[in-house]
Structure 1
């Protein structure tokens, strides 16, 4: 720093001298005087170059001989000064704040005070091994100290020295014993050598189907393994798409809602409720219906190569219309034969036994259309007679029926919708005003035996007064006209 300051001062002196040396007459203005001595250029150059202090005489002495031609020129001196100044690149934040340096920065030329703080001793936090040092200038007298309250002799093994602390620790709270150490190995416990007695463990395989395996006592390295095994662990025993212990299943997924009674006896099936289920559905046998029973109930069961036979003793040729075949029986019946009195156009036959036969349909009606009187289709009480009961109770000899056809109870019934509708249509249709072979035909409504399909609480009924069919609530009372 002193050398740089001297160079700067000398440069300023040289600059002044250069002005004198290059201006005016070179001849002396007067005789030498005391105190008028001057530095030779060679001394100034040496001072700037190496710091050698120049000497000066008390008074100026005119040279006795001209200067040596080897003397440095003013340009050489300037270039030397410039080179030296170019080496001066210090800034305030690189110089201690108690020192002054010469700045060669054109914007801050001249002596400037540094601004770096002087660093102090630094002590780290407790347990902090790596300590950050603040910015600053540190002399060789400063120090950084790491600290840890646990760095005490009783925490260091006896005989070992850590950061100047010699350990005194000799005991462990849970000292190892021979069975804690593998056989063939030794360890020092509290300063005493202990020989290992624990056997080295081997690979362990469980029993077939054993998921939890007992591991014998011993020391096991990372190279040993425990293996669980089950001969049933195969793809066909695992649900399709599910992997168990690395085995991916391909067994079908049981689904469905079948139960034992839905599957034939002795057959095995699986469903959502389980697998390997045995069916209990019984084997079915041939089924025969009752005489005259068209719809036959089939008992629950499994049927294979079995038959269901319907039978009717009336299924004979003479009971089937001629030319018509029903269940393999070809009819020979050509129509009813009237043994009584025919109506004008031959539709109605008065059998003279209290019955009238419709020669177009073969239906036989009770001649007295008012015998049945009025009843509800379906009575609300068990002790009440309904229309169905009233019609089926008719038989030969019934009071007020004037019936002598030999019929028995159950032979008569309510006419169905289509049957009653035949009375209203065709030649010699029956009305309350044109009764033909009948008597007592009413203007009111007559029940049929057909329930209304859209509402079973209603049934069909017909009017022979206006020639119209309609439905009505079964609790309503209407006339009864039996047919067979």
Structure 2
């Protein structure tokens, strides 16, 4: 039988390597187990592929406009959800206003509604027109109803902040002018006017129907 006699220094090196391997295995195993446990915990709480939907409308038994407490207000007549912070989007041209509205998400504009980019949009001409109060109320500056829907915004409970005097709709102008004009609401006198798209007008986003 062949016997190999290693020098003393070689034996020490061999023992040292075995010891280092043992230490590495001892400390790596618990860390790996803990990492695996942590990974499983994360996956349990936030499964891959989970889609978080934006909060829906809210209602009560007395108001037309109901503050949902998450930066949004529900119009219980049209079922639209409006941004409570009506001055979040600055005055821009029509195309930019559409892009900016579509980019809004939870965390912007005082929102905590779980909304994502693409949830918000500019309202249509019909939707902004529905904001206007009945003529018999004689509301002025702004021409909006209050939270209850029975009085004028300026004198009643106000359901939005930062109201500006004009806002874009997403609806383009009459057929022959559709390429360069769109409808905008003017709350200083209560009219919906065909407006040149390059004009600087504010945006007041909504989400919901249609």
Q: Could you give the per-residue CA deviations for residues 73-122 of structure 1, whole angstroms, max 9, x where no partner exists?
A: xxxxxxxxxxxxxxxxxxxxxxxxxxxxxxxxxxxxxxxxxxxxxxxxxx
User: Where does structure 1 lack aligned partners over 5 or more consecutive residues?
Assistant: 1-335, 379-385
Alignment of 1:386-405 (within 5 A): 386-398=96-108, 401-405=109-113
1: CA distance, partners of 2:116 / 2:91: 22
Whole-angstrom CA distance in 2 between matches of 1:371 and 1:433: 20
Q: How much does 1:429 deviate? A: 2.2
The 3-state SS of whatever aligns with 1:409 is coil
Q: TM-score under structure 2 normalisation?
A: 0.59
**Structure exhibiting the larger radius of gyration computed from Cα positions:** 1
**Alignment match of 1:360 (pick from 77, 93, 103):** 77
1:420 aligns with 2:137: no
Confirm or deny that 1:476 pairs with 2:199: yes
- Is 2:81–2:206's contact at 8 Å kept on the other side of the alignment? yes
Pair 1:441-2:149 in alignment: no
Question: What secondary structure, in the 3-state scheme, does the structure 1 residue paired with 2:98 have?
Answer: helix
| Contact residue 58 and residue 68 of structure 2 kept, 8 A | no
Structure-2 separation of matches of 1:465 and 1:391: 22
Rounded Cα–Cα distance in structure 1 between residues aligned with 2:114 and 2:177: 38
Partner residue, 1:169: none
The 1:420–1:368 alpha-carbon spacing in structure 2 relative to 1, beyond 3 Å, is same
* Deviation string, structure 1 residues 421-453 (Cα, Å, up to 9, x no partner): 11113597267735721111112x210000002
Q: Deviations over 1:287-327 (max 9, x none)?
A: xxxxxxxxxxxxxxxxxxxxxxxxxxxxxxxxxxxxxxxxx
> What corresponds to 2:63 in structure 1?
346
> Given the superposition, is the C-alpha separation of residues 354 and 337 from structure 1 closer, same or farther in structure 2, using an over 3 Å criterion?
closer
Q: Distance in 1 between matches of 2:161 and 2:117?
A: 22
Q: 1:361 and 1:469 mapped to 2: Cα distance?
A: 18
> What is the aligned counterpart of 2:177 among 449, 455, 468?
455
Structure 2 counterparts to residues 8-407 of structure 1, below 5 A: 337-338=58-59, 346-378=63-95, 386-398=96-108, 401-407=109-115
Which has the bigger relative contact order, CA under 8 A and spacing at least 6? Answer: 2
Q: Distance in 1 between matches of 2:58 and 2:185?
A: 28
1: CA distance, partners of 2:202 / 2:58: 29
Paired residue secondary structure (2:160): coil
Whether the 8 Å CA contact 1:432–1:441 is kept in 2: the answer is no
Q: Which runs of 4+ in 1 moved over 6 A?
A: none
- Contact in 1 for aligned 2:58/2:67 (Cα 8 Å): no
Q: How many residues align?
A: 135
Consecutive unaligned residues in structure 2, runs of 5 or more? 1-56, 138-143, 147-151
* Mapped partners of 2:153, 2:173: distance in 1: 25
- RMSD of aligned Cα (Å): 2.2
CA shift for structure 1 position 337 = 4.6
- Taking a change above 3 Å as real, the CA distance of residues 451 and 410 of structure 1, as seen in their structure-2 partners, is same
Distance 2:201 2:153 in 1: 15
Change (3 A) 1:376 1:432: farther
Aligned residues of 1:432 and 1:464 also touching (Cα < 8 A) = no
Separation in 2 of the partners of 1:375 and 1:425?
26
- TM-score, structure 1 as length reference: 0.27
**Deviation, structure 1 residue 394:** 0.6
